Amino acid sequence: SGPDASPSASRDLSRLLFTQAQTTGSIWIGAPGSGDARQLTSTEANISSPASAPDNRRIAYVKQTPSTGGDFHELLLMDIATGERNQILSERAAIHSPRWSPDGSRLAYAAEADEHWRVVVGPTSSEPCDEIARIVWAADGSCVWYGARRGRELWWGRMALE
């Protein structure tokens, strides 16, 4: 085991998801302060960005698998109780930072295409940027806020959703 990385707390703070820096493919879940944790995933691929759904029953995460034509990225959903996984996106381009909507019905994530990054929610995507940082949903789910960089300029973007 190695140092904990990518910590993500559930909305009610009852669970903490994290990866370990010295083990690829491992997402762990535990109750803060309990000292107990359970391993949810085990693969040779690089696993990152675990995010707990508002109902605490599912997680979203990114799986990155190296290949000869370039890394292959997948956005996966996992049922915590059963371990069942569903792939919802598979791309050669990079993806990161999945974030659940407040009601748990949608996911926002950052995706790279044509050498630019965009925030994506279903068929809607943001303006192109050189880099996307923190993605935050509005409490009512009406929009997504995100940190962005274009050249040397840093700004907060807002993407309205229907």
SS3 144: strand
Q: Give 77-124 pLDDT, tens digit per residue.
A: 999 899 899 999 888 888 999 999 999 999 999 999 888 999 999 999
> H helices then E strands: how many in the chain?
0, 15
CA distance 124 to 20: 33
Q: Give 5-33 pLDDT, tens digit per residue.
A: 666 776 766 766 667 655 566 877 777 77
